[in-house]
Structure 1
Amino acid sequence: MAISPNSGAEISLADAQKLIQNFQAKFPGEIKASFVGIDTLNLVLNQEGVMGVRIYYGYDTDAKQISPVLVGVDEEGRDMTAVILDHFDPCPTECDSSSPLNN
């Protein structure tokens, strides 16, 4: 699997808004976003050999909502499962009401 530390791309606010609107139209009532603190995120990013992160989209049957799962990825494209993150702060309730991404 060929991966790159430059994977991903910066997009415009308008493109981000459209993606978010499409998601909310397809999945009404789901969380809009998730927040993870820098100290927790650094548990993944500070692992030796980490080249990036992969976000899996899980579903919490107790909370009845999408629940992202984040792992580090090494240069071979393999998941680094020593540190796995979940239980982020969901929006709603932890939202930036002034954000143009949160309509």
Structure 2
Amino acid sequence: MALSENSGSIITEEKARILINAFDRKYPGEVVSSFIGTENVNHILNQENCIGLRIYNGYDDENSKMSLVLVGVDTDEKDMLEQGIIYDEMITCPPTCPLEGSLSEN
């Protein structure tokens, strides 16, 4: 399947909850969610020839927790590595979790 600006699918809140709760059962105590601000997402998306984001699962050995890595993807479907903008160190839940209106039951 080719990558494009329209890759990805909208899902229901119910499906989102099923996926999130299954993850929590399989990986109890792990990071539930990560937050990155719009300015930082836009830094990636506004790069020339960027068609979207690739999100890698990483692991922060120093803090013993999962850590997402975001990188732009170009029109050739390649990670934008040379001179590209890559983000990590997002705000994670736990410890900074939504007070209400969350998809997670945590």
TM (normalized to structure 1)?
A: 0.94
Kept after mapping to 1: 8 A contact 2:55/2:70: yes
Q: Secondary structure at the match of 1:79?
A: coil
Q: CA deviation at 1:40?
A: 1.3
Matches within 5 A, 1:29-68: 29-68=29-68
| 1:42 Cα deviation after fit | 1.3
Offset at 1:45? 0.9
Detail structure 1 runs of 4+ shifted over 6 Å in the superposition: none
Secondary structure of the equivalent of 1:40? helix
Letter in 2 for 1:74: D
The whole-number CA distance in structure 1 between the counterparts of 2:6 and 2:40 is 22
In terms of fraction of residues, the more strand-rich structure is 1
Mapped contact 2:21–2:104 kept (Cα < 8 A): no
Residue deviations 1:30-60, cap 9 Å, x none? 0100000111111101101100000000000
Aligned to 1:97: 99
TM-score, with length taken from structure 2: 0.92
Match of 1:14, SS state, is helix
The alignment of Structure 1 onto Structure 2 pairs a total of residues equal to 103
- For the residue of structure 2 that corresponds to 1:23, the secondary structure is helix
Contact 2:72/2:85 (<8 A) preserved: yes
Kept in 2: contact 1:73–1:79 (CA 8 A): yes
Listed as ranges, the gaps of 5+ residues in structure 1 are none
Matched-pair identity in %: 44
Task: Tell me by how many angstroms 1:72 deviates.
Answer: 0.4
CA contact (8 A) 1:17 1:100 kept: no
Q: Confirm or deny: 8 A CA contact 1:2 1:76 kept in the other structure.
A: no
Task: Kindly state the Cα deviation for residue 94 of structure 1 after the two structures are TM-superposed.
Answer: 1.8
Partner SS state of residue 80, structure 1? coil
